[in-house]
Chain A
Amino acid sequence: MAGQEQQQPQPRDTEVEEEVPVPPAPAEGQASASTQGVDDLLDEIDGVLESNAEEFVRAFVQKGGQ
């Protein structure tokens, strides 16, 4: 069956051919930049999280699924 692979351009063609550098290029020293990044991220998430955590989590009740 070799040679019968599909050749249509598809998003699969965009898959990485080599490893993507991760995380994308912090300019400063790796460790401190990483810690700083986490602090920034938490600050951002603080502003995004629903207020009333306890009530919000308690109210998320689902019916059965597969």
Chain B
Amino acid sequence: MTAGSDPVLGGGLPAGGAMRVMGSETEYGIHAPSAPGANATMMSARVVQAYAQVTRLRAAGGAETRWDYTDEEPLHDARGWTLERGQAHPSQLTDQPPVLDAEAVALAYGRDELELDGEDESGSLLMNMVLGNGARLYVDHAHPEYSSPEVTNPAAAVAWDAAGDLVGLAAVRRLASDTELPAVNLYKNNTDNKSVSYGSHENYLMPRSVPFGDIVRGLTPFFVSRQIICGSGRVGRGQDSSRSGYQISQRADFFEAEVGLETTIRRPIINTRDEPHATADKYRRLHVIIGDANLSQVSNYLKFGTTAMVLSLIEAGLAPRIEVHEPVAALQAISHDTTLTAKVRLQDGRRVTALDLQWMYHEAAAKLAQDTGVSDAVDGDGHTNAVLERWATTLTQLDSDRPAAATSVEWLAKLSILEGYRQRDGLQWDDARLGLVDLQWADLRPEKGLYYRMLSRNRMQRIVDDADIAAAVTEPPSDTRAYFRGRCVSSFSKDVVGASWDSVIFDVPGYGRLQRVPTREPLRGTKALTGGLFARHREAGSFLAELLGTAPAPPPA
């Protein structure tokens, strides 16, 4: 294994195409219809507790595997400085475990709620857990968030992201069976249409040697335009939906800056948070905050696959040399034009559509992939060719066959239902039923969620089989460090006291202190490297002894 031996080429994966270490984060909308005033953080904690009960991934002492915050650095800016804590917005301090305020709990549910069995020794509720599939499930601000395990390709990104929706669904079911407390719904969307937005983030591993300015220049025109293939659609315009109508993106109207560190205020098209969660002098983790959460598998697949390819272009110095005039305004103009005919101005004076921009990137990506060989149908990397073909097919359909595109592009699929209602019932865009269609599109319950109704009628295309998504709920990816993390949690949960993206912490009888195993190389800890180790050991003590090269631990006194 030579992971990381050549970070410039992506640390062990074929360079030039769609393969890359990547992952998703989804903050779910949360709502208890029978208790609309319920505290959102409390409800989100109930979601995490409920899933813990479902999986019974409980360590000794009754606590699930804790998050290890040691390497969180949310104030490090990729442009080369660190924001002072005192100047940061409180929501930026994501390196401290959130402690649910007891008063908030009491206000929401009464004092008795403080006796929940998820309470730990310090009196705070469990807000965080690491899952056997390598993912993290936790309370982020006022939403439950699922962060997928690291994967190496866009099809796997779709599978482990969709697995998060099943995790959320399992929690919803569990809470619905609780007769004492109100049922909770989860929605995979990004706005309440009343001025609040919450995120769906992507993460991509890049060599640190790529200048950040190149990333900004190469990505901005792409991010302005990629919404036409991966926007989820939104009823309403303006952050508060004060203007009626439909638009392509859930998120576009909430972006106000071109580049910046914030994720909750003055949101930037390019986010500069610089927490590599890996060997910091070799890698950066590009944190992408501009995407919509996708239920459509094709939109999600293209979101990850095309972005990974554009990053390959940037690394090779071959991104299209185009610069969009006033990109924030262009982003919103494109989102507000469902005819896809709106033109945005480039700094060189040309006026182009979003489709034009996407074709420029496709052309450059296809050439690089051909030159590096990764898109070869036989000898390629097995992913890039499929991404390129689907990208081209989707762009062509968006231009000339929208009914076909509506089986894969999320905003068009949602629009087909909305237009059906408008025609059948003569509804105006500000009719509450259209707002309800928009919201209920994203309900995670298959009997209620309109996306899932479309899927069950085969009106939405699949990228991965249902069985593979179901497997991804419990199985980690085999080809990243998520394999090691997930297997540690599922095999040795009673001895694992904490974990994070780049560590697993053991508390094993016989060892005098906690054993923190660093996992700072994302392409190590794979099944190929550690599968035998897990097969050989059923006890954490002997497992650690072989892993760390120490003598077997003496039996506990």
Contacts and interface: CB of A to CB of B under 8 A. Distances in A.
Interface in A31-64: 34, 37-39, 41-42, 44-45, 48-50, 53-54, 56-64
Contacts of A62: 29-31, 40, 142-143, 191-192, 194, 196, 198
B36 A49 contact: no
A12 B192 CA distance: 33
A56 B421 contact: no
Contacts of A48: 440, 447-448, 450, 453
A51 B439 CA distance: 13
Interface residues of A, number: 43
Given A12-B153, A42-B417, A65 B439 contact: no
Given A48-B453, A53-B433, A19 B141 contact: no
Contacts of A49: 433, 436-437, 440
A24 B458 contact: yes
Contacts of B540: none
B381 A63 contact: no
A53 B155 CA distance: 36
Contact of B435 (A23, A53, A66): A53
A45 B127 CA distance: 35
Nearest to A38: B420
B479 to A, nearest CB: 4
Interface in B362-408: 372-374, 381-383, 386, 389-390, 393, 403-404, 407-408
A61 B389 CA distance: 40
Interface in B117-133: none
Contacts of A44: 453
Nearest to A43: B424
A1 B459 contact: no
A60 B31 contact: yes
Contacts of A28: none
Interface stretch (B48-56, B219-227, B278-286, B470-478): B470-478
Interface string A1-30: 110111010111111110110111000000
A4 B523 CA distance: 11
A22 B528 contact: no
B14 A12 contact: no
Contacts of B463: 15-16
A11 B159 CA distance: 7
B14 A66 contact: no
B461 A20 contact: yes
Contacts of A56: 33, 436, 439
A14 B155 contact: yes
Contacts of B207: none
Contact of B471 (A2, A11, A20, A59): A11
B457 interface: yes
Interface in B143-163: 143, 152-153, 155-156, 159
A63 B37 CA distance: 11
B464 A14 contact: yes
Contacts of A13: 382
A39 B12 CA distance: 51
Nearest to B448: A48
A63 B196 contact: yes
B527 interface: yes
Nearest to B92: A66
A44 B263 CA distance: 38
A12 B382 contact: yes
Contact of B479 (A6, A23, A45, A66): A6
Given A4-B13, A11-B471, A66-B263, A45 B417 contact: yes
A-B CB proximity, top 4 nearest: A65-B198, A63-B142, A11-B468, A66-B199
9 contacts: A6-B478, A6-B528, A11-B468, A19-B393, A23-B459, A49-B437, A57-B435, A60-B31, A60-B192
